Structure 1
Amino acid sequence: MAGRKNLEVLTALDVAKTQWYHFTTIIIAGMGFFTDAYDLFCISIVTKLLGRIYYYNPAIKKPGVVPAGVNSALNGVALVGTLFGQLFFGWLGDKLGRKKVYGITLLIMIIFSLASGCSFGTTPKAVMTTLCFFRFWLGFGIGGDYPLSATIMSEYANTKTRGAFVAAVFAMQGIGILAAGAVGIISSSIFNHIYHVPIFNVDPVASTPHQADFLWRFIFALGAFPALATFYYRMKMPETARYTALIEGNQKQAAADMGKVLQIHIDADTNSAPEPHLQYKLFSAEFMRRHGVHLLGTTSCWFFLDVAFYSQNLFQKDVFSAIGWIPAAGTMSAVQEVYRIARAQTLIALCSTVPGYWVTVALIDHIGRWIIQLQGFFFMTVFMFSLAIPYDTLKAHNHIGFVILYALTFFFANFGPNSTTFIVPAELFPARFRSTCHGISAAAGKAGAIVGAFGFLYASQNQDPKLVDAGYHKGIGIKNTLIALGVINALGFLCTFMVPETNQRSLEEISGENEEDAAVEPVHDKAPRPIVGM
C-alpha cells in the first residue's frame, strides 16, 4: 500500500543538518532534568542531617534518625507529585501544545524548590509536613518536564541524530545528580570551617548546632536557580512543527517557525495534511491494535527500571554506611556526615552514573535503542546478584569490590534502560498522542519509583537492635533488598521484547502517520526483528 506523502516541513526536519539551535534546545530542555535530578536526589544527602536536627533521642545516646515512615514520605512524596505531573502535563501538551505549557512546569519547579528550603513549623512533625507538601508540588512540576522535553526534542531533531539529542537532554539528569553532591560537599565544608563543629561522641548536642538547620534549607533552595536561568529562553521557543502541522493543521506557520530556527527556507505544503476521518482516538480499538503492545512495553520497562534505579539512589547512603565506606554516625558531627554522604554520592556519579548517560549519547544512533536497553537490564541483573549473593563477605572483607560492583549497576542503568525508556516513548506514538503516551509511560516509571521509596527503601532500614528497641521499624535488610531488585531487573529484561527498534526512522514512519490506509500495520511490519507476542 502506498504511503501518504510526508509534509515538506517534516521532511526538512528529518534531513536537516545539526545546527546551533539543536544544542541550545538540549540546554533549555535539559535544564529541567538537571533540576529534576538535583531536587530528587539531594534529599539523600540531607536526610541524616534532618534526623540529627529533629529526631535526636538522648535516651539511646545515638544520633537522631528520621523514622522510616517519615523517611519514605520525604523520598516518595516528590515521586507521587511527579507521577501526577507526568499524566496531567502529558495530556495537556497534546491538547494545548507543547510550548504553551512548557514554561509552566519550569515555573512550578522554581517556586517550590525555593519553598522547600523555607519549610516551616514549630515541631518536627510540622516541618516535615510542610516540606512534604512543597516537595509534592515540586515533583508535580518536574513530572511535566518528562513528556514535554522528550516530545519537543524528538520533534525538533533530525532522523540521523534524534536519539543522541533526546539522550543528551536526559543526560542532564546525571549532571544534576553530580551537582547535588558537589553542593553538599562545598556547603558542608564551608559550614564546618565557620563553626568548627565537634564530633557526636564528644558533645552530642553541640555536634548538631542550631545553625545546621540553614544548611539543608540552602541545599534545597539552590536548585531553583539553574531552572530560573533558562526560563526566559524556554518561553521564547516556537511550537514544534509537528504539532503545528499535524495537529493544528497549519503547515504555513510550521514552515515559517522551523525555517527561522533552522535558518533554511521551507515550503509550506498545504495539500498533504492528514485527513481527520482517518484519525483514531486514544485507547480506541484501532489504537490498541496498532500501539497497545508498544504502550505495554514502554510502561512495564519503565516501571521495573525505576523500582531498581530509584531504590539504588535513595538508599545508597545506607549501603555506604553498611560496608563502612561512611564511618559510624557517632564518630562525626552532623555536618561532617553530610560531607561524607555527598562525597560518596559524587564519586559514584562521577565514575559511573554520568559516564553511563554520555556513552548512551555517543552510541545510541549507531547500535540502536533496543540493544542498549536489553544489555543494560542484563548487566544490572548480573551485578545486583553479584552484590547480593556474597553480600556478607563483601561487606566484611572487600569494600572496594562492593563499591565497584555497585557503581557498575549505575553505569549500566544509564548506559541502558534509564536512558532508553525516556527516548523510545517519544518516538513510537503519533503526534496527537505522543506527549500523553510518554506521560503515561513515565508515570508507570514513577509508580515503580514509589514502590522503591515506600517499599524497598522502608524494608532495607534499621537493623540495629537498639534502634528497634527504641521503637524504630525493623526491615528485611539490604541483602534481601538487593536480591529483590535483581529479580526486578530480570523482569525488565523480558519486557524489553515488547518494544520495537526506532533507530534511523522518521517519526511519521514509526507511528504510521504517513500511511494512506488506516488499516496498515505501522511499526511491527517493518521492524528489523520480530516482536514477542505480536
Structure 2
Amino acid sequence: MGRQDQQLQVLNALDAAKTQWYHFTAIIVAGMGFFTDAYDLFCISLVTKLLGRIYYTDPASPTPGSLPPNIAAAVNGVALCRTLSGQLFFGWLGDKLGRKSVYGMTLLLMVICSIASGLSFSHTPTSVMATLCFFRFWLGFGIGGDYPLSATIMSEYANKKTRGAFIAAVFAMQGFGILAGGVVTLAMSAGFQAAFPAPAYEMPETARYTALVAKDAKQASSDMAKVLQVEIEVEEEKLQDITRGRDYGLFSARFAKRHGAHLLGTAATWFLVDVAYYSQNLFQKDIFTSIHWIPKARTMSALEEVFRISRAQTLIALCGTVPGYWFTVFLIDIIGRFKIQLLGFAGMTAFMLGLAIPYHHWTMPGNQVIFVFLYGFTFFFANFGPNATAFIVPAEIFPARLRSTCHGISAASGKAGAIIGAFGFLYAAQPQDKAHVDAGYKPGIGVRNALFVLAGCNLVGFLMTWMLVPESKGKSLEEMSGEADDEEASANGGATAVNSSGVEMV
C-alpha cells in the first residue's frame, strides 16, 4: 500500500485542502496572541526613559532621572525570564490537555496581566516598579505559552502546500505588535505634548492531536468534516494500526536517535538569533543615542524624548521589521525554510560587521542616516530569516504527541538567549571610558564591540543551521516527523525507512 493509503483520511484531507476561509480565521485567532505578545514585550522599551524621569529624577541634578541599572534590568527582562518557563510548561500541557483549551488559558492570563501592568500602583518609586515587575512577570508566563501553542495549532490546521506561509503569517503578527507599540506611543506622546506643552469563532481541537495523541478517530473526523465541509470517513482500525508502538517519550533513546540533532538545532539557532534580536530591539534607543541620532536627555523634555525614541523605533519597524516578516510569508514555501534561515543569519552577520568595523565613522555628523539605514537591514534579515523560521520549523518536524513540548523547549532556549541579550547588552554596551558611562553603571565593552559579539552569534547560528536544521518545505507533518515512515514500515513488516533529513527510521 502507498503512503497516502496508509494515512488517515482526516489527515490527508487537511494536507490536500485548498486554501479556505477557515485557514485565514485560524491565522487571525492564533496571530492575535502574537500581536499582543510583541506589543507587551517590546512596548516597555519605549517608556523606560519616561519611568526614569517620573520616579527617579533628582531635583539637584541637571541631568534628567533614569532608572537605576538593577531596576532597568528588571523592568526590561522580568517578562522574558518568565516567558521561558511559560514556553516549557504550556508546551508540555498542550501535549497533555490539547492545544485549544490551553491556548485559551494563556490568552486569559495575558489579558489580566496586561491590564494589571498598566494599573501598577504604590506610594514609592521602588514599590511601583516592584508592582509593575510582578505583573509583567506573570504576563511573560502567558506570553511564553502562546509560542508553542499558536505555532502548533497553525501547523496542524494548515495544508501541506502553504503551511510555511500560514505559520509565518501568524508569526508576522509580531511585527504589527511592535509597530503598534511605536505608533500608540508616538500618538500618545504627540497628543500630550500638544495638549500640555512641557468576532467569535469556535475553533475545534486540531485533528492531529485528537487522532494521533488522544486517539479519537471519530471526534477528529467529525471536527474536520465541519471545518473542511466535506465528508470524512471514521477509520478506527487504521488509527489503531498507525499509533501502535509509537509511544516513545522525549527522553527515550529512540527520540534521541530520530530527533535529538533536530531539537539541538532548533533550540541552538533560536537561542542565538534571540541574543542578537532582543539586544537590538530593546536597546535601540541607546544605540541611536550613542551615534548622536537622538540628542542627550538633558537637551530635551521628557515628552520630546519619548516622541523621538518612538519615532525612531517606528521608522525601523516600518522600513525593516515588518517588511521582513512578510517577505517570509510570501517566499517561504517557494525558497524553503533552510535557505531563508541561512540567508537571514548571513545578512545579519554582514550588516552588523558593516556597522561595527567603521563604527567611529557612523558617529560623525551627517553619517547617522546611513547607519540607521544599515541598522534597519539587520532587522529585515532577522525577520526574513531566523527570527521567523526558528518559530516555524519546530512546529513541523517533531511527532504530534511531542510537537508542542519540543516547540516549547526550542522557544524557551530562544528566551534564554533573549534574557542574555537583554541583560548583557544593557551593561556590555556601556562605554569603556568611565567619563561617559551612564549613572549607576560600570564601564562595558562599548557599542562597537557589542555589535561584534552579536555578529559572532549570527555567524555561529549560520553554521548550526547548516549542520542541524532540516528542510520541511512541501512535506507533510507526518513525513517530517517520521510518523509516515513508521506507518509504511509497519505496513511492510517492519522494514527500515529513512526520513527526508537522512535520519534512519527502524
**How far is 1:458 from its partner?**
2.2
The alignment status of 1:326 with 2:294, answered yes or no, reads yes
The alignment status of 1:484 with 2:453, answered yes or no, reads yes
Equivalent residue pairs, number: 493
CA distance in 2 between counterparts of 1:275 and 1:431 reads 11
The alignment status of 1:20 with 2:13, answered yes or no, reads no
1:412 to 367, 373, 381: 381
Mapping 1:34-73, distance limit 5 Å: 34-73=35-74
Determine helix, strand or coil for the equivalent of 2:475.
Answer: coil
**How far is 1:271 from its partner?**
2.1
Q: For the Cα contact (< 8 Å) 1:69–1:458, is it kept in 2? A: no
Tell me what 1:144 maps to: 145
Matching residue's letter, 2:45: S
Tell me what 1:504 maps to: 474
1:237 to 200, 203, 218: 203
Q: For the Cα contact (< 8 Å) 2:68–2:440, is it kept in 1? A: no
CA distance in 1 between counterparts of 2:251 and 2:404 reads 14
CA distance in 2 between counterparts of 1:247 and 1:299 reads 24
2:333 to 358, 365, 370: 365
Tell me what 1:186 maps to: 187
**How far is 1:331 from its partner?**
2.2
Deviates more, 1:256-265 or 1:303-312: 256-265
- Summarize the Cα distance change of 1:187–1:342 in structure 2 as closer, same or farther, 3 Å threshold: same
Determine helix, strand or coil for the equivalent of 1:278.
Answer: coil
- Summarize the Cα distance change of 1:469–1:480 in structure 2 as closer, same or farther, 3 Å threshold: closer
CA distance in 1 between counterparts of 2:48 and 2:219 reads 50
CA distance in 2 between counterparts of 1:339 and 1:461 reads 23
Q: For the Cα contact (< 8 Å) 1:307–1:451, is it kept in 2? A: yes
Tell me what 1:382 maps to: 350
Mapping 1:27-426, distance limit 5 Å: 27-197=28-198, 232-233=200-201, 236-273=202-239, 274-397=242-365, 398-426=367-395
Matching residue's letter, 1:509: E
Matching residue's letter, 1:280: Y
CA distance in 2 between counterparts of 1:175 and 1:500 reads 29
Q: Which runs of 5+ in 2 are unaligned?
A: none
TM-score by length of 2: 0.94
Matching residue's letter, 1:454: F
Tell me what 1:444 maps to: 413
**How far is 1:60 from its partner?**
3.5
CA distance in 2 between counterparts of 1:267 and 1:475 reads 65
CA distance in 2 between counterparts of 1:470 and 1:100 reads 47
**How far is 1:130 from its partner?**
1.1
The alignment status of 1:513 with 2:483, answered yes or no, reads yes
Q: For the Cα contact (< 8 Å) 2:431–2:447, is it kept in 1? A: no
TM-score by length of 1: 0.89
Matching residue's letter, 1:16: A
**How far is 1:57 from its partner?**
2.3
Tell me what 2:500 maps to: 526
CA distance in 1 between counterparts of 2:213 and 2:376 reads 44
Determine helix, strand or coil for the equivalent of 1:65.
Answer: coil
- Summarize the Cα distance change of 1:469–1:130 in structure 2 as closer, same or farther, 3 Å threshold: closer
Q: Which runs of 5+ in 1 are unaligned?
A: 198-229
**How far is 1:282 from its partner?**
1.2
RMSD value, Cα: 1.8
Mapping 1:439-478, distance limit 5 Å: 439-461=408-430, 465=434, 468=437, 471-478=440-447
Matching residue's letter, 1:244: T
Q: Deviations over 1:25-70 (max 9, x none)?
A: 1011001110111011111110100111111123431011112221
CA distance in 2 between counterparts of 1:19 and 1:2 reads 27
Matching residue's letter, 2:190: S
**How far is 1:323 from its partner?**
1.7
**How far is 1:109 from its partner?**
0.7
Tell me what 1:429 maps to: 398
Q: Deviations over 1:225-245 (max 9, x none)?
A: xxxxx7x54xx2100000111
- Summarize the Cα distance change of 1:37–1:463 in structure 2 as closer, same or farther, 3 Å threshold: farther
